[in-house]
Amino acid sequence: MAKAIRMKLLPPLALTLLLLGLFVFVPMLSAFEYSIRTPATGGYGWTHYHWAISEEDFFHYIFRSTWLSGVTVLITLLILVPTLVWIHLSDSKIRGIIDGLSLLPLVIPVVAFAVGAQISFPEFVQNTVLELPFLYFVLALPYAYRSLDIGLNSIPLKTLSEAARSAGANWLRTIISVIIPVIRGSVMATIALTFALSLGEYTLTVLLHWDTFPTWVTYVAQDNILGAIAISMMSLIIPFIILTAVTLVIPERNMQGRK
């Protein structure tokens, strides 16, 4: 019976995955094909990628955006994981309010958010680029919150925490060694969503007059549009490779540790 149900579901699932793949990869392949065109010779080549890498500010801005995204991921995990664990364990009545508040970044215009939130920071933060990770965190909150919430809902959190506490672990050890490994999938999804959003955020950065990789791309696009497309392709491929590597390496290390 179960086998027959799986056989019936297989064709629709395969068709859905095929359409999803076409929706995601066809535009990327088209952009890649466009980025390797060489109008001067009428053929294809890596001229625009060489031009992008040879730009003196290329590595400066890509490293800046990368470490800002990394700081944003760290802030997100440090704030949301303990908070959500507490909410789930306490069965607090304010959980519905917190769920609603986590959606506010989706409805508040970025312009109003950037100006209002920025002036609320201490002056020493306003004058440094470190204000961006905190603002990126707020923008990523709806997605990161839902990802972790789904993961915690899918496990017997109270049983795991009580077992760890009865074994002598404190709350920090319980969260790091027991809860996070169990919801590894949700944590990795949170990291991927937060990192990707932070790396590509443009509007907020421009409004606050900071320069990051997305703003630099728009600047150089004025001189070389095909080169800008090549840079955009690299900005998609590099985070994808990094996040895929992290996703594959972490479970392998955990399995090696268990052995």
Q: What is the pLDDT of residue 76?
A: 95
Percent pLDDT > 70 in the chain is 90
Residue-range definition of the domain harbouring residue 86: 57-252
Say if 134 falls within a structural domain: yes
Q: What is the pLDDT of residue 140?
A: 92
Model confidence at 36, pLDDT cuts 50, 70, 90, reads confident
- Look at the chain and report how many structural domains it folds into: 1
Q: What is the pLDDT of residue 14?
A: 82
Say if 28 falls within a structural domain: no
Q: Mind giving me the DSSP string for 54-94?
A: HSTTHHHHHHHHHHHHHHHHHHHHHHHHHHHHHHHHHT-TT
CA gyration radius for the chain?
22
Model confidence at 8, pLDDT cuts 50, 70, 90, reads low
Q: 164-191 pLDDT, tens per residue?
A: 888 888 888 888 888 988 998 889 889 8
Say if 102 falls within a structural domain: yes
Average pLDDT, the chain: 82
| CATH number reported for the structural domain that contains residue 155 in this entry | 1.10.3720.10
Q: What is the pLDDT of residue 230?
A: 82
Say if 210 falls within a structural domain: yes
Q: 140-173 pLDDT, tens per residue?
A: 999 999 999 999 998 888 888 888 888 888 888 8
**HSE (CB half, 13 Å, CA atoms) of 249?**
6
